[in-house]
Amino acid sequence: MLQMPIECKGSNFTLLVFYLYNSQPEIIRKALQDKINQAPVFLQNAPIVLNVSALNNNTNWEKMKHAINKTGLRIVGISGCTDKLLKQKIDQSGLPILSEGKESFNLNNTSVSIPQNINKTRIIHTPIRSGQQIYARNTDLILTNNVSAGAELIADGNIHIYGIMRGRALAGANGDRDCQIFCTNFFGELISIAGEYWIIDQIPTKFFGKSVRLYLKDGTLTIQNLN
């Protein structure tokens, strides 16, 4: 049988989403460069999505795109665009407008936004080795074993780790800033909630080896001991 030259398959990828709250390209460039300098291994030349829900058509999109490209970050798509004129500018620049993967319905005359797919909590009982990546899409992730350095846990919801955590944990991967991370024996090398992250050098060492809870408070990562 003659093999087809291409094949189309569905797949999932976890990407960092940067929310732009300023329309000045140079301010955005400097802010992104500061982030890259804090975690070059994690962010240098990284593929990213830009959320532009806070921007309007007064934004000089070509200058904004050029400023972001200068940092080395690779823009793979745009989300959150509600301004029609800005959407036209983005489309003309050759970047795709991405769907947020949500739909709305009306209940008692109240518009509610819900995920298209609601999954049961993903529970894993085996150790996660270096180089492995676990992704819990549209749900929480519970792990009842250890996570080695170099392993990665990703969830659109919360992450619970009942074991030694030495790898990376990224909760709220779809942008949910209410998500949290819980760990009974914490030695994480990178922690992220809804794109806000700490690398190992930024994590207060007094929490290593402790039971901890991580969450966002006023948009800033916060860590505390679990009683």
Query: What pLDDT is recorded for position 104?
Result: 39
Residue 183 located in a structural domain: yes
Residue 6 located in a structural domain: no
102, pLDDT greater than 90 = no
Mean pLDDT of 106-128: 64
Lowest mean pLDDT among 1-5, 17-21, 52-56, 96-100: 1-5
Residue 211 located in a structural domain: yes
Task: Give me the CATH number covering residue 69.
Answer: 3.30.70.260
Mean pLDDT of 171-195: 92
Mean pLDDT of 96-119: 52
Would you list the DSSP string of 128-154? B-TT-EEEETTS-EEE-S-B-TT-EEE
Q: For 123-144, write each residue's pLDDT tens digit.
A: 999 999 998 989 998 899 999 9
SS3 of residue 211 by DSSP: coil
Instruction: Tell me if 39 sits within 8 A of 221, measured CB to CB.
Output: no
SS3 of residue 31 by DSSP: helix
The residue type of 217 is K
The residue type of 200 is I
Number of H helices, E strands in the chain: 4, 16
Do residues 92 and 51 share a domain? yes
Tokens of 181: 């991370």
Query: What pLDDT is recorded for position 120?
Result: 79
Helix ranges (H only) for 39-178 are 40-43, 61-69, 84-92
Mean pLDDT of 92-100: 86
Which residue, among 117, 131, 129, has the nearest Cα to 143 in the 3D structure?
129
Mean pLDDT of 72-83: 92
Residue 32 located in a structural domain: yes
Looking at the DSSP bridge assignments, the partners of residue 26 are none
SS3 of residue 201 by DSSP: helix
Counted domains in the chain: 2
Backbone angles phi, psi at 89, to 5 degrees: -60, -45
Instruction: Tell me if 192 sits within 8 A of 166, measured CB to CB.
Output: no
Domain extent for 65: 16-100
Q: How many C-beta atoms surround the C-beta of residue 80 within 10 A?
A: 18
What is the reported pTM? 0.56
Residue 164 located in a structural domain: yes
Backbone angles phi, psi at 23, to 5 degrees: -95, 0
